[in-house]
Structure 1
Amino acid sequence: MAEKAATTLHALIRAGSDEATALSSPGGVPLSFGALRALTERTIVALNAQGIGRGDRVGIVLGNGPEMAAAFIAVAAGTTSAPLNPAYKADEFAFYLTDLNARLLIVAEGDGSPAVAVAERLGLPVARLHPTPEEGAGSFTLSFGDMPGGAPARGGPAEPDDVALVLHTSGTTSRPKIVPLSQRNVCASACNIRTALAFTSEDRGLNIMPLFHIHGLIAGILAPLAAGGQVSCTTGFNALKFFGWMSEVRPTWYTAVPTMHQAILGRASRNAEIIKANPLRFIRSSSSSMPPQVMQEIEAVFGAPLIEAYGMTEAAHQMASNPLPPRPHYAGSVGIAAGPEIAIVDEDGEPLPAGETGEIVIRGDNVMTGYENNEAANASAFTRQGWFRTGDQGTLSEDGYLRITGRLKEIINRGGEKISPREVDEVLMDHPAVSQCVTFAMPHDKLGEDVVAAVVLREGESIPEKDLRGFASERLAPFKVPAKIVFLEEIPKGATGKLQRIGLAEKLGLA
């Protein structure tokens, strides 16, 4: 099949026939592959006319839905797209837009996002996206206001080694790192997922994942399109609307994080007729570990296999995936290598035999070549043999099934949302009453982990917990705000006197 060789987004979206539906939305007019390709060409020409071309960073702040999916594809096909979480506060937008060295910001017409005021303060041009849903789900035009225009340094469709997508990953010991993913990386991952899940032009996905995340962008949108299949783009996850969407869209599959699956499961019994009338080929789960009990219940209720996969931003999402039947898939395992090579290594980066516990490492066409402008991080992230260290610990069985036994990193994984404790520390430390702060993970029965901060106040100071949480909520997206703040006289330290996040929940009796 010709699409196997796609190494650019421009080529990837050629998989479907002109008339076949590429994008749809509940209640909307379908957008064909022919129309998606034409929209992409028009967008590249429009951006080029404003002097924005290959390698130029374009921040995209749009709500979930078909416009976000189409804008991501069209922008990334000719420039470098930088999707940002619309829930960010002004300070966060200022950090990310500056750190990315963005050349343009795209927001929806009439959107009062704080990103607009931040862009104006930074002297960053803002383009307004006007949806034209009557021309097909996701269809849009861009208006550039009084941008002066001009010729880009490099125009036209992007080439395989151009950067398609930049995202930040949370770090615990440093500021968030920039992950540049090339056209080749992104297309390799989309094709790996297409192969692992045996997508065809007959598949219809129901996307409920946020489209500022690698999971939603690659698995939710690009992988099915790479097979000429279609994706129905919702406005975002809503357990109350899920079964209505399922009845209307008649999907063959969907992908989500475990907390979403659990919420869907909670409403499944009253929607048994819809489930029966719309059999799914499979259900996919990724971004945090799926409790085995939940997996068994979902499979029983939906009568479909739950395929757990393992991904991360630096690998343009997928690294491992459980195979489809008739091959076995196991609860507690993230499956077999599904694209990149996977190995388990010791502290020196030397390979370990099957069954031994060590760090999970990967290498392949979907893996980034390195963090941007961060030699120190790259020196520790790659082994001498060119393997990328995931920071996760696990084992590989004799037959190649991977189990993750723990995270080496201290990143908090709140229902699939990755949070840098250092980022939360820095916000809380800005409060004049706070002397010391360590943010860490506390176990949570539904989210897996939640955010907690241990705080030492300055001498003579006092502040109610709710006031300090309110201070944080003005500066951080809601999912990053600590669910609990513990006030201490002194934060427990490790043997070398360092403040340690790992094990702090246990030490403070919060586990």
Structure 2
Amino acid sequence: MLFIKTTITPCLRLVGRAFVTRHSSTSALQRRPPATRIRDSYLHCPGTVPLVHHTLSDVLDRAASDFGTREGVIFVHQDIRRTWLEVRQEADRLARGFLSLGLEKGDRIGIWATNKYEWLLTQYAAAKAGLVLVNVNQAYQSRELEYCLRKVGVRTLVAGQGYRTSDYYTMLTELVPALADGEAGVPLTVRSEKLPQLRDIVMIGGDRRRGVLRFDDLLDAGKESLSGELERRQAQVSCDDPCNIMFTSGTTGLPKGATLSHHNIVNNMKQMGSRTGFDQLSVRVCTPVPLYHSFGCVAGSVLAPLFGSTLVFPSEAFDAVAALQATEAEKCTHMYGTPTMFVDMVNISKQGRFDISSLHSGFVGGAPVPFHLMEAMMNEMNMTGSIVGYGLTETGPILTLSYPSDDVEHRCGTVGYPLDHTELKVVDERGRTLPVGTAGELCMRGYNLFLGYWDDEEKTAECLTPAGWFHTGDVAVMNDDGYVKIVGRAKDMVIRGGENIYPTEVEDFLMTHPDVLEAAAFGVPDERMGEELAVWIRTREHCCLSEHDIRSFCKGRIAHHKIPCYIQFRDDFPKTVTGKIQKFAMREIMTKELGSEK
């Protein structure tokens, strides 16, 4: 299950550095409420910025009205630049094209593509037509694609040409063999035993293919004569309607379709942008993260039109050089990325090839950030205004976020303060609220809580209580000022001979070693202890660390039972497209290796 954590983790070596965003006055930005000391790990944040009753379609229409001539999106690799007014006009055309296909309110429309302008248009147009957008991981193969499309009953699929070595059309012919019998450029009404609800396939770019509709032809089908019908459809859409389905998988288990409403994501981004100063600043965000991920399609394409910001997409898939080139050329002020992405960008930045002096802030997500990486981001990439945050797909996705006025201790030692209009608590295994400073499972409820997992009442009931509390599955500690620390994943906890070990704690410690670039700790079965702790380590280039070196580094600095039993050095870790480490794959590999040694 892929939980999306937009988080900057502790960076204790940055004491004394200024984190306040340059070119802004903190007096004009939101400041956290006066300190109120709490005794129990429960906090309700009533909020100063009111919630809004808007759909994503409303957001785009308002952006076109309020920021119409301002650059909205730039896709460097496609040589596409659009103002927010132009985006709205083309989204209307595409929405009318969807209506011409006979799509009804609430139908699911899948988008399976890399970062392209057509992805963004599909998102906005689907919202205008009252459809539910289904994000499909660009790395999915035919079996995964089949499962997701079938699970949520996708009626129309918009697909790109491919990703890396994968050819999407070839995979689609495996699922819909009749495509091969069609005429080039003549769309078929799809009939497939594997995908019984799929009716239309639309392909972005490329030559005309048998049995599918070209994206540009669908745009042309959006005749002005359908404008009245589109207006009527938009009037039927409520902000409480489902807007987006994102599959929260990639680490364990089958994918689950987390379903979010317009109300969830629009208000979540309004609160995020208000707290971080997007309403006070001229923001240009370099966005190398994938659009199928909430990092791209919510924190990117929903946040930006709310505040009239500019989104800059440097490439179809992540390319460090392209990201830095785009930052220089477009004078980007903010950068999004995962730690893995920033490792590459920092290394290139050290060469001094690009002028990225316009950059001053950023959001890092998907995995923990080593201390030395955060230092390098500040020193080599000018990112002194980075904001700390945490969240999950199911929470809209942002749940906690720091304030620009926060001191170093709060920025480095926590994942921020709960967003306005939310409730958070930390509970024990029986659901009882714990005293502050005590580790337990983090629970939340509020406007940003998802509607549930699509067509999966059992999984929804497992994490949602009758009182509306969502169990995040993360182990956390709440301080007496309401700030939250994430200790680890409850399911990742290793129980060694009755002792609880949180892998995140061990990973954070190991990454304080100057030669350790990345560390992933996990449990493996052990006949005597129940579980033993294993760790995979990726070192800096040309560094020669041994198991003995690591154990010596740990000895006397962490408890004996937390020192890994098994230590392996690896050049690469199994990861999702967004950089999320797949510990289940590591566990399987290690368990097999250890079994073969016996």
Alignment match, 1:116: 172
In the alignment, structure 1 residue 22 sits paired with structure 2 residue 103: no
Among 26, 30, 33, the alignment partner of 2:84 is 33
After superposing on structure 2, the runs of 4+ consecutive aligned residues of structure 1 that deviate more than 6 Å are: 1-4, 411-414, 477-481, 489-492
For the pair 1:155 / 2:233, whether they are aligned, the reply is yes
Q: Within the alignment, does 1:251 sit opposite 2:335 as a pair? A: no
Deviation at 1:478, TM superposition (A): 12
Q: Deviations over 1:21-74 (max 9, x none)?
A: 111122624211111111222222221221213211011111113322222222
Structure-2 residue corresponding to 1:395:
477
Between stretches 289-298 and 310-319, larger displacement belongs to 289-298
Q: After superposition, give the CA deviation of every residue in 1:130-181 in whole Å (9 maximum; x if it has no partner).
A: 569xxxxxxx6353999xxx999x9336321211100122288853222111
**Cα distance, 1:347–1:204 mapped onto 2, change above 3 Å:** same
Cα 1:6–1:198 change in 2 (3 A) is farther
Q: Quick check: 1:197 aligned with 2:248?
A: no
Q: Tell me, what secondary structure is at the counterpart of 1:274?
A: coil
1:224 CA displacement: 2.0
- Separation in 2 of the partners of 1:399 and 1:56? 45
Aligned residues between the structures = 431
Give the SS at the match of 2:451.
coil
Tell me the equivalent position of 1:404: 486
In the alignment, what sits opposite 2:95? 44
Unaligned runs of 5+ in 1: 133-139, 415-420, 422-439, 448-471, 493-507
Show CA shifts across 1:229-252 (max 9, x none): 110122232112222111111111
Sequence identity percentage: 24
How do 1:209-358 residues align onto structure 2 when only pairs under 5 Å count?
209-234=289-314, 235-271=316-352, 274-276=355-357, 278-280=358-360, 282-303=361-382, 304-325=384-405, 327-328=407-408, 329-339=410-420, 340-358=422-440
Mean Cα deviation higher: 50-59 or 325-334:
325-334
The alpha-carbon deviation at position 115 of structure 1 amounts to: 4.8
Q: Which residue of 1 aligns with 2:153?
A: 101
Structure 1 residue 207 displacement after superposition: 0.7
1:143 is matched with 218
Query: How far apart are residue 92 of structure 1 and its match?
Result: 0.8
Pairs within 5 Å for 1:158-177:
158-170=237-249, 175-177=254-256
Alignment check: 8 A CA contact 1:23 1:32 kept: yes
| Contact 1:171–1:177 (CA under 8 A) maintained in structure 2 | no
Conservation of the 8 A alpha-carbon contact between 1:90 and 1:114: no
- Cα deviation code 1:356-391 (max 9, x no counterpart): 111111111111132223232232212353211100
SS at match of 2:299: helix
Other structure's SS at 1:251 match:
coil
CA distance in 2, matches of 1:229, 1:279: 15
| 2:206 paired with 1:128 | no
What SS does the corresponding residue of 2:430 show, helix, strand or coil? coil
**Structure 1 Cα separation of the partners of residues 161 and 252 of structure 2:** 38
Mapped pair 1:76 → 2:127: yes
Tell me: CA distance 1:403–1:188, structure 2 relative to 1, closer, same or farther (3 Å): same
Q: Aligned equivalents of 1:357 and 1:319: distance in 2?
A: 18
**1:221 Cα deviation after fit:** 2.1
Task: Provide the aligned C-alpha RMSD in A.
Answer: 3.9
Is this contact kept in 1: 2:240–2:263, CA < 8 A? Answer: yes
- Check whether the contact 2:113–2:159 (CA below 8 A) recurs between aligned residues: yes
Matched-pair contact (CA < 8 Å) for 2:312–2:326 = no
The one-letter amino acid paired with 1:338 is L
Unaligned stretches of 5+ residues in structure 2: 1-47, 180-191, 207-214, 494-502, 508-521, 523-532, 541-573
**Which of 110, 115, 124 is the aligned partner of 1:64?**
115
How far, CA to CA, are the matches of 1:238 and 1:489 in structure 2?
Answer: 34
User: Could you tell me which residue of structure 2 aligns to residue 181 of structure 1?
Assistant: 260
Residue 352 of structure 2 aligns with an amino acid whose one-letter code is: N
- Decide whether aligned partners of structure 1 residues 11 and 489 sit closer, same or farther in structure 2, where only a CA change above 3 A counts: closer
- 1:259 Cα offset (Å): 1.5
Q: Which has the higher contact order (CA 8 A, sep 6+)?
A: 2
CA distance in 1, matches of 2:251, 2:348: 37
Evaluate the alpha carbon distance shift between residue 313 and residue 114 of structure 1 in structure 2; reply closer, same or farther with a 3 A threshold: farther
Is 1:485 matched with 2:589?
yes
Would you say 1:88 and 2:162 are equivalent positions?
Answer: no
Q: What SS does the corresponding residue of 1:360 show, helix, strand or coil?
A: strand
Report the alpha carbon displacement of residue 186 of structure 1 after superposing the two structures with TM: 1.5
Amino acid at match of 2:136: L
Contact 1:295–1:306 (Cα < 8 Å) also in 2: no
Q: Deviations over 1:403-458 (max 9, x none)?
A: 111101349999xxxxxx9xxxxxxxxxxxxxxxxxx99544489xxxxxxxxxxx
Check whether the contact 2:158–2:204 (CA below 8 A) recurs between aligned residues.
no
Cα contact 1:127–1:145 (8 A) shared by 2: no
